Chains A and B, each alone.
Chain A
Amino acid sequence: MMTLLQQGDLSTKLEQIGESLTWLLPEVTLVITLILLICYDLIFKKNKSIGLATISFVGLGFSIFLSALQWNQESQLNLFDGLLHLDKLAIILKILFCTVLAGSLIIAVKANQDRDDFFESSELNTLLLGVLIGSSFMVMSTNLILIYLSIEVVSISSYALTAITRGKKKAEAGLKYLIFGAAASAIMLYGMSWLYGFTGSLDISSETFISGLQSIDIVPLSIAGLLTLAGILFKLGAFPMHIWSPDVYEAAPIPIVNTFSVIPKLAALGVLIRLSLGLNPSTIDWPLWISITAIASMTVGNFSALWQKDIKRMLAYSSIAQAGFLLVGIVANSEAGFESLLFYGMIYGLMNLGAFYLVQLLENKTGSTQFEAFKGKGSEIPYLGILTVIVMISLTGLPPTAGFNAKLFIFSAVYETYQISANPIYMLVLIIGLINTVIALFYYLKLPYFMFLKSNSSQVPLTKYRLSELILGTLLITPLLLLFFRSDWFVDLVNSINFGL
């Protein structure tokens, strides 16, 4: 022990930490934003909304800027003695997270009922930043402990976020979420402890860890791996750890749901990509595992979404299905697979943002998120109706929207892998995925169907929409159309990531 703490050694360590900290500037910015929010809340008593909103948006913007600066730097960096791993994969995801959170806050600005919750006090904003910081670390960490810690940061912030807004239903959902999450995290920690026990290493990218795994018997390895996977699937909201999501989504306000449905999910996928890179397919049948969860998530999510009467609940179940589609990229287990997964993730973030924004506007107008409430309203609000149709078509994955490209890329990646390995499981994933895309049509187009094809039963006219709402909606939706034609903008970004396969 004494040798480790020798003067010279310590100073090099400190130096290294100092150097690493400069690479963490985006996260540091977020933490400072968080602290500023709390301080501002404490100092000022009235009319805090503008200040809080400004701090949040400026902080997020600055963090995006700092992350973007790192894009052209060295491609692979090991920070804090191998605890964190900063590469383009992490940077692209972090920028996406900040963007999505900023989008959620924009939705919050537009939310009639919940706006005060977001901008009258700092709690919701700080917690949302907590989710963001945790997720940022999730996609950077290569150390089991740090993975666990960052997942917990995300989870705990999420529990609080679910419960903090007023209402009995929300408290109940928050508590459920907490209990379920605690169980999931316990399972994962258990699995991780097994892995550490087998290999003697916590660093999943290190040689000792990877070679250690190969020498283990299949049964204990499978058990340990599956338990760890369960914790990640919990964050991803995929089968079989998906059960919490509909309740939480239904209870939470729309901006928070938008955050939940994108940021932790993609962060979990980031962790999965890192895990997949470390695993050798010869020891365990990793693609088979993921295939099963992917197929089950798609199918369960889709069939449950079919019967929903509430738009938010429908979107919640559909997000389970989307998680399944995202997992298909991991199934492919190739460079193309991960790239198409990231592309899908980015498009998914955009689509969800657009969809939830529109649902928020629609909720503002009718005060309800039931399908029934929108019967025949399409003719009253034609422009919003058209935007809704575009988003829903994109979510289904039909041309001419970017959702189509995303699905196309991810399925082609799986097909490529199938052609190389000829393992029938890939074909199965492909076929079931395509069938599920068709099923998704039925519930995604339910809202347009109600809006345009059913006759209007209520005589109460909707409030007129404001021009700013429409412009913002158009700005959010146009990228979906644009990226269908120019998907190379994102594809080029994704292509520049080196996965080291």
Chain B
Amino acid sequence: MIELGDIISPQTHSLQVWLVVLLLAPIGSFLCSCLLKKSAPIISSGVIGLTTVLSIYLAINNWQIEPTIIKGNWFRIGNSQLTYAMMIDQLMLVMAVVVNFISFLVHFFSIEYMKKDKRKPRYFAFLGIFTFSMMGIVLFHDLLLMFVFWELVGLSSYLLIGFWFEKKSASRAANKAFIVNRIGDLGFITGLMILFTQFQTFDLEAVKTLMVVSEIEDGNWISQFMIQGQEVVSSLDGRWLSAAGIALFCGAVGKSAQFPLQIWLPDAMEGPTPVSALIHAATMVAAGVYLLARIFVLLDAQALEVVAVVGAITAFMAAIAALSQFDIKKVLAYSTISQLGYMVMAMGIGAYTAGLFHLVTHAFFKAGLFLSAGIIIHQLHKLETDDIKFDAQDMRVMGGLRKKLPITFFAFLICSLALVGLPGFSGFISKDAILLDLAVWSDIKGGGFYIPEVLAFATVLFTGFYTFRMILLVFFGEFRLPGITGAKNLGDRLKDGNLNLLLPAIILAVLSFGFAFTGLGFSAESSWLAHALETPVYIVPISYAAQSLVDISEQTFKDLHGLVTVVATGLALVGIVIALISYRPNAKLEQSFIERREPVGMFGQVSFYHWYLDAFYRKFILKFFMLFSQASSWFDRKVIDGIVNLIPKITVISAHLTKWFDRYLVDGIVNLSANLAGRVGQATRSIQGGNVQLYIALSFVFVILLMLYLVF
């Protein structure tokens, strides 16, 4: 039998110093930014740059490392020893590089982007905190500490979304993101507690070790182990096993903006654009997927089905919503949700490698898209004067920017092609891998499980459409702003950004090419990254486990591969062609786009208002919640407060009683003895009216009373 103390006992490794440096360096950046107001941008970018170099160095040096764990004791409560654990494996190394690298590019980008902002130091300090929290999630291999950093990520995201808090919409968006995330985290903490109840530890590796030996007997989930030599048998109803997985998934639903909690992400675009690139495209929203990867083997068949279906629904819904937005960042936000849906779905169908692969490729191309959009917005903002005001994110004021911002255009185009998933670009490889696994999965499951497949393939079509609609409206045709404002030569002042802005976008665009991941190869199997992230085998008790894709023969995949590639690429091309037809320069839709307000027609409105989810929350859930809180407020005011008020009243009454007792009975005795003592000691008139004698007399009386009581 396994002794819990053994599997959570401290372990060290020579790399741990570097991991701590990696974790704490962003905090150093935070402190520097707080203290050195003036040079905050440079210093913090430098610090993050160094950690990026460090993380790349660590990754290269330890690429072949066997998964190693560093553990230590944290604190004890009662008999439970709580520990901390850090994991060194390829997944952690990849994530550390991605997070630091993108964070560094965003820092670098922000030096120019936030140049005019008077709260610059605060901005860079927040970025530091965010990077620190994200590294915490990546490094720690312990559910409790992950949860702690999970919350910190929520906090820093809140701070950054609401960075321009004077804008009412920004502070509301920050609140919305924070609250919606809390709802998801409620699930996370529930999952934590279920696993802790069963296994008495938060250490993920220990949980996995114990999960392997736990069994399902008569529908009960039983695990046996020893704590300090004593045998412990935990038994829960088998459904709790599924519940634990689904509850932990709820955390991911919140952070990764999955249905039904995805409503916060579009609003979160109120934050500065580099922040959107860092948090709402590449890292924080990927944390949910990362969590799923970490707990992947603990999910049972039912939980995995939930994950897969939620992911597919999210991908489809968001793709529809992206079709008709006016705001360039909103389009990108919905496309992010949609791609996250892919990743989550990949986890759900067991395509661990493909999902994480897509996470990495998406992190680069989507950050590139956001940064390019950031350049456009930044350069357009420069045109604003006291007389001319416009919304620099609205695609209705853009158009024809290809000639004004050529480098940005190419960066944007390459990242877009990766997003659409055309062969040769990184997005193609990872998306292809997901779709292939999905096709195999649907074939195995059959029946209703073809629906996710249909949704996922439909999403490919819509992705092609909305991406090229965006490109055509932003970069082709005539520059529409002069027409709107009436200032004819506005366009002359528009030019491409400087090196600070362009360099990160270019780097990310280069990384959106397929060869960055596969070299000369064409599919995911030939990628070095896919080999590093092998799909692990489920370890939940066998009767609850899902069928692993690892067990399916290579041939099944090979048979389907050609078909999937052709269909997916074909659908994407169809989407692109439809977009070209309807939004090409001088087409009818393109001409009338400038006057377009909210769309008419059922489909248009569903898309524009994101399936009326916000309205649904406002009208039903919020209303119900308000009613409920009014009721509970009434209960609190009338009933609880009534009781609470009663207690002090009783106390006061009893104190009054005591006072009365004191005044009449005790004082009575005192006065009596005072009289006695006073008569005896007339000659020695004492200080303060004979009090001290009284004191002594009183004490004696009590001592004697006590004696009488005790003896008789």
Contacts and interface: CB of A to CB of B under 8 A. Distances in A.
Interface of A: 172, 175-176, 179-180, 183-184, 187, 218-219, 222-223, 226-227, 230, 239-241, 243-244, 285, 288-289, 292-293, 303, 306-307, 439, 442, 485-486, 488
B695 A244 contact: yes
B657 to A, nearest CB: 10
Interface in B70-88: 75-76
Contacts of A222: 707, 710-711
Contacts of A227: 703
A243 B698 contact: yes
B544 to A, nearest CB: 38
A240 B707 contact: no
Contacts of A293: 706
Contacts of B699: 180, 183-184, 230, 240-241, 243
Contacts of B648: 442
Contact of A226 (B75, B651, B693, B707): B707
Contacts of A292: 706, 709
Interface stretch (B101-109, B152-160, B684-692): B684-692
Interface string B643-659: 00000100100010011
B696 interface: yes
Centre residue among B76, B662, B700, B710 by max chain A CB count within 10 A: B710
Nearest to B702: A240
5 contacts: A184-B699, A227-B703, A230-B703, A303-B655, A485-B75
Contacts of B693: 179
A226 B706 contact: yes
B707 A223 contact: yes
A435 to B, nearest CB: 10
Contacts of B702: 239-240
Interface of A is mostly: helix
A176 B692 contact: yes
Q: Which of B659, B700, B709 gathers the greatest number of chain A CB atoms within 10 Å? A: B700
Contact of A172 (B662, B687, B696, B709): B687
A448 to B, nearest CB: 16
A226 B687 contact: no
A488 B73 CA distance: 14
Contacts of A179: 692-693, 696
A247 to B, nearest CB: 8
Nearest to B703: A230
Nearest to A168: B687
Nearest to A439: B651
Given A187-B703, A244-B695, A175 B655 contact: no
Contacts of B710: 222, 226, 285, 288-289
A226 B703 contact: yes
Contacts of B688: 172, 176
A223 B711 CA distance: 8
B645 to A, nearest CB: 14
Given A303-B655, A307-B659, 19 more contacts: A172-B688, A175-B692, A176-B688, A179-B692, A179-B693, A180-B695, A183-B696, A183-B699, A184-B699, A219-B711, A222-B707, A230-B699, A230-B703, A240-B702, A240-B706, A241-B699, A241-B703, A292-B709, A486-B75
A221 B173 CA distance: 78
A176 B687 contact: yes
Given A222-B711, A226-B707, A243 B651 contact: no
Interface of B: 75-76, 648, 651, 655, 658-659, 662, 687-688, 691-693, 695-696, 698-700, 702-703, 706-707, 709-711
A442 B651 contact: yes
A226 B711 CA distance: 10
A184 B703 CA distance: 11
A222 to B, nearest CB: 5
A243 B695 contact: yes
Contacts of A306: 655
B651 A240 contact: no
A243 B688 CA distance: 15
Nearest to A169: B688
A226 B706 CA distance: 9
B687 A175 contact: yes
A265 B441 CA distance: 75
Nearest to A223: B707
Contacts of A241: 699, 703
A222 B662 CA distance: 29
Nearest to B691: A176
Given A175-B687, A485-B75, A240 B698 contact: yes
A239 B666 CA distance: 14
Contacts of A223: 707, 711
A290 B659 CA distance: 25
Contacts of B658: 303
Contacts of B706: 226, 240, 289, 292-293
A303 B707 CA distance: 24
Contacts of A184: 699
Nearest to B712: A219
Contacts of B75: 485-486
Contacts of A485: 75
B666 to A, nearest CB: 10
B280 to A, nearest CB: 35
Contacts of A288: 710
A187 B701 CA distance: 13
Nearest to A240: B702
Closest 4 CB pairs of A and B: A240-B702, A243-B695, A176-B692, A183-B696
Contact of A176 (B695, B703, B707, B711): B695
A222 B700 CA distance: 15
B321 to A, nearest CB: 45
Contacts of A226: 703, 706-707, 710
Nearest to B655: A306
A223 B693 CA distance: 23
Contacts of B709: 292
A307 B76 CA distance: 41
B572 to A, nearest CB: 56
A320 to B, nearest CB: 13
Contacts of B703: 187, 226-227, 230, 240-241
A488 B710 CA distance: 39
Contacts of A439: 651
Contacts of A187: 703
A176 B688 CA distance: 10
B706 to A, nearest CB: 7
A180 B651 contact: no
Nearest to B77: A485
A239 B701 CA distance: 12
A183 B693 CA distance: 10
B711 A218 contact: yes
Contacts of A488: 76
Contacts of B659: 307
A99 to B, nearest CB: 25
B653 to A, nearest CB: 13
Contacts of B662: 303
A134 to B, nearest CB: 22
A227 B699 CA distance: 12
Contacts of A180: 692, 695-696, 699
B334 to A, nearest CB: 44
A301 to B, nearest CB: 13
Nearest to B701: A240
B82 to A, nearest CB: 11
A187 B704 CA distance: 12
Contacts of A172: 687-688
Residue among A218, A222, A293 having the largest count of chain B Cβ atoms under 10 Å: A222
A187 B697 CA distance: 13
A303 B656 CA distance: 10
Contacts of B696: 179-180, 183
A321 to B, nearest CB: 14
A293 B707 CA distance: 12
A227 B695 CA distance: 17
B181 to A, nearest CB: 26
B284 to A, nearest CB: 30
